[in-house]
Amino acid sequence: MPKDLSRHIQFMERAVPFNSHLGIKVLEAAEGYARILVPFRDEFIGDSRRPALHGGFLSAVVDACGGLAVWTLFDVRDLISTVDMRVDYLRPGPDRDVVVESRVVRVGNRVSVVNTVVYPVDEPEKILAEGRAVYNNRRAENG
């Protein structure tokens, strides 16, 4: 039977102020996988001449989705934090909603590794950015 991730999803969308500010909506979460939608806002533009999404915005959503993908393998009380992250910006991000997909490559006792892609909601074949991140996994104290 699939794990109930509703508390994870609620936390990611509402209890993390930055995620809430970005408007992150979890489309799907399963063990070792997450897919989110981020509705476009003008504030996400980094280069208004194109316009193109800001690299910091893309990094932030890569990090948020990757962290959720790892967290799906843990209890909602456990802590997941970013240790290292690399983002390759492959093409300018258009001024529209984006989808972010993350898959856990390896989960260990202390760290997990995740691969992530970002693409426009209506063009999944047009990868805007790819990320690879390492997260620290820490089980909550019993009690």
Instruction: Tell me the per-residue pLDDT of 51-91, one tens digit each, with 9 for 90 and over.
Output: 999 999 999 999 999 999 999 999 999 999 999 999 999 99
pLDDT at 143: 42
**Where exactly are the structural domains of the chain?**
6-138
Beta strands of the chain (E only): which ranges? 25-30, 33-38, 45-47, 52-53, 79-89, 98-107, 111-120, 129-138
**pLDDT (mean) for 108-124:** 97
pLDDT at 2: 66
Q: Residue 21: how many CA atoms within 13 Å on its side-chain side?
A: 9
* Secondary-structure class of domain 6-138 per CATH: alpha beta
* Local confidence band at 142 (pLDDT 50, 70, 90 cut-offs): low
- Which pTM was predicted? 0.94
More confidently predicted of 142 and 48 = 48
Residue 140, pLDDT above cutoff 70: yes
